[in-house]
Amino acid sequence: MSIFNHERVILKVRRHPVTFLLHILMFLALLAFPSLFSLTTKLIEYPLPTGDAIQVIVKLFGTVYYAYVLLFILYSFFDYFLDIWIVTDKHVIDIEQKALFFRVISKQEVSRIQDVTAEIKGVMPTLFNYGDVHLQTAGAQGRFIFRKVPDPYGIVAQILKTIEANRKRSASSAP
């Protein structure tokens, strides 16, 4: 598979699925909140106001609330799914979804990478083997960060292999 002229994709990386699982758990909690609130008011026998106008307001509030919860999970999914990092034999491409209609795409040559670091911080990242990969480059971009990616040490090893192969190819083609 090639993206640019005669480039071979080495890695396509997205965030670890466990990081999206936390959003799903929050989504489920937000879905359950109105039911828990209603149950709590019934259990403590707190009288809620009744009447046609109150019922309309409650239904309107519920509709708006569930619309926001749905938008939250859709935004979280698009942010998770559309953030991708691609390493080819010549470039590193960072495609980052910043907002619903705002995407930033950065590209840097593999030959300009000066330092590659993997970082795993915390209990959950250690248990599920995900973390950040930092690429320090010589360009204006400065630093690429692959956030919460699976197997960061394996990704670093693959990038270092790609850098070494790129240097060997450049050295053999130099006059």
Q: What is the pLDDT of residues 116-169, one digit of tens each?
A: 999 999 999 999 999 999 999 876 666 789 999 999 999 999 999 999 998 888
Enumerate the domain spans of the chain: 9-14+86-173, 20-79
CA gap 11, 59 in Å, rounded: 48
CA gap 174, 172 in Å, rounded: 6
What is the third-level CATH fold of 9-14+86-173? PH-domain like (2.30.29)
CA gap 8, 129 in Å, rounded: 27
Provide the H-helix boundaries in the chain.
Answer: 17-43, 52-82, 123-128, 152-173
Q: Indicate whether this model's pTM tops 0.85.
A: no
Q: What is the pLDDT of residues 60-118, one digit of tens each?
A: 988 999 999 999 899 889 989 999 999 998 899 999 988 878 889 988 888 888 899 99
93 beta partners: 86, 107
